[in-house]
Every structure is written in structure tokens, then in C-alpha cells.
Amino acid sequence: MKKILLCISAILFLNAALANTKDASEQKNDTLYTELKSDVIILSSTKETNSLKSLPAAVSFLSQKNLDMIQASSLKEISAYVPNFFVSDYGSKMSAPLYIRGVGARTGTQTVSMYIDNVPYFNPSTFDTELYDIQRVEVLRGTQSTLYGRNSMGGIMNVYTYSPLTYEGKTATVSAGNHGLFSANLSHYKRVSNTFGFSASVYYKRTDGFFKNAYNGRRADDGDNAGGRVKLVWNWTPSLEAIFTSSFDYTNQNAYPYMNINNNKVDINGDNSYIRRVYTNGLALKYTADKYIINSTTAYQYLNDNMHMDQDYSSASIFGLNQRQWENSLSQEVTIKSNTNSNYQWSFGAFGFYDHLKMKSPVHMYEEGIGLLVQPALDRLNQNPNIPVTINITSPEIDFNCDFRTQTSGAAAFHQSTFNNLFNVKGLSFTAGLRLDYEKSQLKYNTNTGVNFDLGWKNAPRPTLNYRADTVMNGKADVDYLELLPKGVIKYAFNDGSYLYGSVSRGYKSGGHNVSLFADVLKDALQPAMMNAVGMGSAPGTDPKDLITFKPEYSWNYEIGGQVYFLDDALALNAALYYIDIKDVQITQFAESGAGRGTTNAGKASSKGFEVGAKVRPCKGFYLFANYGLADAKFKDYRVDDNTNYKDNHIPFAPQQTFSVGTSITYDMKKNSIIDKIQFDASYSGVGRIYWTEENNLYQRSYGTLNARLGFVKKAFTVELWGKNLLDKDYQAFYFESMGNSFVQKGKPIQFGATLKLKL
């Protein structure tokens, strides 16, 4: 049997990539083959001293072909194809909660960091972006805080786009399917000379949505998104390379199609929508000398979004939220690392950033909401025989105005050393790293509300008096953190692709501010303000300083693993076993009124489990993969009050397991055939069980979805028939409780369609 299938890399489980490169001279040491010899991924890292091909960590690589194979155009659709990697698909593109190994967050600071072309994405609101023209995606599981710092205690996701110096051509893609799906993509990659190239890409996607709003008969989640990217690569000298990337992403969608479980309907009378604009720019400089490499990455990102949410999620008019964000993020990183194959390799780096976030998030309470949430407390006072007056709100509506400014800055220095052939034992190496990370964040808040009300007399013929009560809460809150983030890794390599490793590392996730709870705090302050307005006096409402901040989350990660190749690389196996000890777990909690949510620290937790993966390539054009991840994430201590402790309960919203299996088959037709090639991909992936509450009384059982694709290739043209969730599996993507009601968002139903591609 003639072999043209070559080894992929460290822990690549699902793959059949078409990198379509035309410059084979770029295939240097860190080159990774996916399915065919011509399918190449070129690996590089600005920080790592170890080869990414045999990195002593749990890492997965996906090429553009891999993403096509599993029909993934966003990070949400990669869920479960990378073991213990999960991103719940609900709400809007503003929501992209990443979980790795049971560690993650729905709100607050992220636990998994994302980079595109080495540009950090600071705000999780920007994570759910379109993946197109991708050279590769790297997912590193486990704490990466030593090299990447804050908010990477669960892992990191690196996305790299094609370089016009190594990839040339024009591509046009059009796709259509049920539920009103239409998408188009155009790209042009041009190598002008051996030292300069440019590329330009644009995309557009439209869907009619999957759920209908029973209140008005319209679609509850239809929308459009579009964007583009320009990339310039210039090798000024044989030693100096510059890469400039600029991208724009636009989203306009109806959102939050949450169903009340009592009637299993989306029945919402308010505006639920999300509009987002993201501009991202990055300049990367690389200087290569004989014995070292210097990398510099300068990045700027601007986010402007507008979210409307009917927060009672019903046909009643209780209250609604309009949140707008304007964010400017600037970062700079410089690294220098060794460029030799000696027994000692090193890396030094410095990182700094500044982030300014302006947020306006007024909550509007309607007359029905006043009668339900505010007036009842006054009615209880009115019924008190010892109080001679009655108080009734006359304002038809109440506005809770919230204006926030958050300035966050930080600086870090880090180092990593790798000692190869330790004690003169070939293949034995030890890596040690340390990072000093400083962060400072300041929140300035300006919030207010007011209400008109009448004061009447129970037993006296006095005229009713009109009053106005106003509540103003202004102030600021500062937090800062200085952290040491070490790691140590020992590795034994049998050969270039087979090895064992063990590692210990410390992770850290930033603390922050609970701005979403201010509307609820203002509501609680209304009654004391009304009492004071009439001279009756009352205890003050909740002090926002008691709720405004939450602490950082910390972890220690212990891991052993490895990978091995058999049968001349026709069979590859990989595995990892881990234990994570977590302190001050950050948990999302909804306000009792439903008017907001916040993050709180919940004591201690742990996550333990394992990951296994296998890939088999028995013959030309035939490829199989399977992988599985188990994450047993539980609270070790989470005492809510004297009577409630969630010890040994599972951490909510994180799946206990992920699994995926799949195959890719390529059949070359005979010469002079109508079709040059037939391609078939099929995959089945799933997650579960997912607990929805800290009490662990509600959960989504394990479930899986089936995807398939059939393609016909003729020269530059490809026609594909595809389907997602072909078994039309019914499952819950999200669950929460608010104002005594329970809501869910269903998973997307069966989808199918066709795609036409042209590559020149």
C-alpha cells in the first residue's frame, strides 16, 4: 500500500486539511501534515521555546479543511471536536462562554483567552466572530498563564489567517440552505514579489432564524453578519518581516429567543436584538538572527455594540434593558527567544495593555413592572395600622439610569527556559517558566433613578400630597492585582512525534466589577428614598460597595500526558490526565428581581478528568478520528448560608463530557471522468451532562448531533451537499430562572443546504 498519509502533530484528533500552499520552501522545522502530503500547516509561536509539533501540553490543531469537514464557521461549532472544549450557543453573538475542562465563565472576566493573528481579544463580546480563510486554529487546554497571563487559566485559542506569501489564489464561495440561510465569501491572495504580498477577503451571512415569537408571529432570531479583512506581508530584509492585518466585523440580529418552560413558547413583546461593530488592527514585526528571534506585536481593537433585552422574557411589560458599549483596547508585546537546536533554549517577553470601556445600561421599568415589583412593598406599609398614611406610585414608568467608565491597564514580564537532553539522557527535557503579572482596574459609576408618588391620609380629611423621590449613586471602585505565575514541565521524547510529559502550573483569572446589578440596587433604594422624601426616615438601601467587586480566581493545574504513533504513522494515539485545584470560583447569579445578574466568588472547587484521542489512516483517501474528554468539576466548598452548602455539587453550565467521532473519504475518479474527485465527511459530536443550577436539581442529558457533507470536485469547481443535526436532535442549549419563572433556549434544529466553491 503506497503511503501518502503523514503525521499531523501533537494531539490533532480530527483532521483533513487543505492548506493549498504553493511555496513549499516555507515548510521548515515546525511543519505539520494533516491528511495528504500536500496538506500542510506551518506552525510558529512568538513565545514558545518547545516545538509546537511535540509541545508537552494538551493541544489541538485545526486547519481550514478541518473546519470545513466539521462545518465550523465559528468557535461555537468547534465544541466537542476538541476534547473538553465547549462553547454554548445561545442568546446572541454577544454570548460566547468558553469552557475547557470544566473551567469557564458566562459573565465577568473570561477563563479562556482568544487571539487572532496574535492580537488579543479582551472582551468576550467579540469572541463569536466568523472564522474564514483560516490557516490554523490552535486550542491549548490547561493553564497557560505563564506565557499568556491573565484570563488563560482554562487555556487559550489561537487563530491564524493565511499569509499571501505562502498561499495564493482567488476563492469564491456561495452557500444556501433551509431556515433562510445564505452566505457568500470572496478572497484574493496575491504574492506581488518574493518579499511582498497582500490579501483581501469579505464575507456575508444571513439567516431567517430557527424560532418564532408567538407574540407577533415573527422570527425571534433572524439576522445578518458581514465583515472583511486586509493583510499585508512585507519582508523588508531577509531578517526582518512585517505583517499588518486589519479586519471589520458587523452583526445585526434579533436575539435571546428564550422559551418559558410552562408553555414551551417564545412569547416576548419587547425588543430583543443585538448590533455589534468590531474593528481590529495588528502590526507584527519579526527579526530573525542566527541565534535569536525578536517578535513585536502591536494591536488595537474598537468595539461598539448595542443590546436590547426584554428582561421579563414574556408578553407582559415589566422591564427592559438597553446596554451599549464603546471599548478601546491597546496592547503591546515584545518577545525574544533562542533560535538554535542547542540543549538550552530560552524565551523572554514583556506585555502591556490599556483598555477603556464606556457602558450605558439603562433599565426601563413599565407600569406593569411597578405594580409587580415596587408597589407591593408599599402596599404592605399601607396596610400597617400603625402608619397613618398611604403611599402610591404615580409615575407610569421608572428609569434606572446607569453610566459606567472602566479603565483597566496592566503590565507583565515573563521568562521560559528549556533544558534538552537533561543529564545527558537523549529526549529528556525540562521546561521552567515564570511570569510577573500586574493589573489595575478602576470603575467610575454614575447611576440614578426617581419616582413620583402620592401621600394620602387614612383617617384624616387632608388633601393628597404629591412628592418626588430621587436616588443617586455616584462613586468609583479600584482593584489591583500582582501575581506570580510559575510552571514546570518534564518531557521524555521517544522520537520526533512520540513523547510523555508531566506539568505543574498556576492559573489566574482577574477579578472585576458587577455593573449589571446596579439597576437592582437602585430599585431597592427607592423605598428608603420615598420614606425620606416625606420625612418619615428609613434605613438606607444596599450599599453598592458591598456588591460592586468580585475577587480573582486562582488555580493549580497538574497534568500528565503524551502521544504515540504506530504503523508508520497510520495510527496515532494521545491522552492526558489532569487535576485542577481552584480557589475563589467565580459564579454567575441572577438578581432576585430579574433586573440584572452579577458574579460572585464561591469558595473552592476542583476539576479532574482525562482526554483521549485517536486517528487512523489505513489507506489513501480514508481517515477516521475519535476523541473523548471527561471533566468532573465540583465545588469543594461553597457555603451560601448557614443551612446551604453546595459542596460536592457539579459546577453548572460546564459539560461533564465531550465526545466526537468522524470520517473523511476522498475518492479520485478515473481520467476523463465527468467528476475529478468525490469527497464525503461525516461526524457525530456531543456533550453532557450539563447541570443548570448550583443545586444540581436540573440538567441537560448527554446528547449528540450528526453532521455530513458530500462534495463533487471538477477542476476549480466544487459542489457540496451538507447537513447539520441531521437526526434533528432536540436539546436545551441554555437554561436559567428569573422572577420565579424558568426559561430555556432550544438547540438549533436540522439544517441542510448546498455550497458552490470556485478556487483559482
pLDDT digits (tens, 9 = 90+) for 499-548: 999 999 999 999 888 877 777 778 777 778 887 877 766 555 556 666 77
Q: Is residue 322 part of a domain?
A: yes
Angle at 228 between CA 92 and CA 306, to 5 degrees: 35
- Full residue range of the structural domain in which residue 87 is found: 24-759
Which residue type occupies 343?
N
CB atoms within 10 A of CB 237: 9
The low-confidence residues of the chain, meaning pLDDT below 70, are 1-44, 536-546, 590-597
| Whole-number Å distance between alpha carbons of 429 and 489 | 8
Residue 739: what pLDDT? 83
Q: Is residue 55 part of a domain?
A: yes
- Torsion, Cα of 260, 653, 14, 44 (10° steps): 120
SS3 603: coil
- Inter-residue contact 578 to 568 (CB < 8 Å): no
SS3 642: coil
Q: Annotate 418-433 with b (16+ C-beta within 10 A) or e (fewer).
A: bbbebeeeebebebeb
| Whole-number Å distance between alpha carbons of 753 and 709 | 10
- Inter-residue contact 161 to 231 (CB < 8 Å): yes
Q: Is residue 10 part of a domain?
A: no
Radius of gyration of the chain (CA): 28
Residue 512: what pLDDT? 84
Q: Is residue 4 part of a domain?
A: no
Cell numbers representing residue 364 in the block: 426601563
Q: Is residue 7 part of a domain?
A: no
Cis peptide before 462 (omega within 30 of 0): no
- Helices marked H in 157-253: none
SS3 76: helix
| Whole-number Å distance between alpha carbons of 229 and 156 | 23
Pairing of strands 98-100, 103-104: antiparallel
| Whole-number Å distance between alpha carbons of 610 and 325 | 39
| Whole-number Å distance between alpha carbons of 221 and 593 | 25
Cell numbers representing residue 260 in the block: 418559558
- Torsion, Cα of 700, 637, 512, 85 (10° steps): -40
- Inter-residue contact 7 to 30 (CB < 8 Å): no
Q: Is residue 469 part of a domain?
A: yes
Q: Is residue 586 part of a domain?
A: yes
Phi, psi for 531 (deg, rounded to 5): -65, -40
- Helices marked H in 475-618: 518-533
- Helices 375-382 & 518-533 angle (0-180, nearest 10): 30
DSSP bridge partners of 720: 711, 755
Cell numbers representing residue 739 in the block: 422572577
Cis peptide before 617 (omega within 30 of 0): no
Cell numbers representing residue 406 in the block: 472602566
| Whole-number Å distance between alpha carbons of 522 and 559 | 46
| Whole-number Å distance between alpha carbons of 695 and 698 | 8
* Ordered DSSP codes for 707-744: EEEEEEEETTEEEEEEEESTT----EEEEEEETTEEEE
CATH number, residue 452: 2.40.170.20
- Inter-residue contact 358 to 327 (CB < 8 Å): yes
DSSP bridge partners of 295: 286, 335
Q: Annotate 449-475 with b (16+ C-beta within 10 A) or e (fewer).
A: bbbebebeeeeeeeeeeeeebebebee
SS3 35: coil
Q: Is residue 518 part of a domain?
A: yes
Residue 541: what pLDDT? 54
Please count the structural domains in the chain.
1
Residue 39: what pLDDT? 44
Cell numbers representing residue 486 in the block: 510559575
| Whole-number Å distance between alpha carbons of 92 and 89 | 8
Strand segments (E) across 363-464: 363-365, 389-393, 398-419, 428-457
What's 511-549 look like in SS3? Answer: CEECHHHHHHHHHHHHHHHHHHHCCCCCCCCCCHHHCCE
How much helix, strand and coil, in percent to the nearest 5, is found in the chain? 10, 55, 35
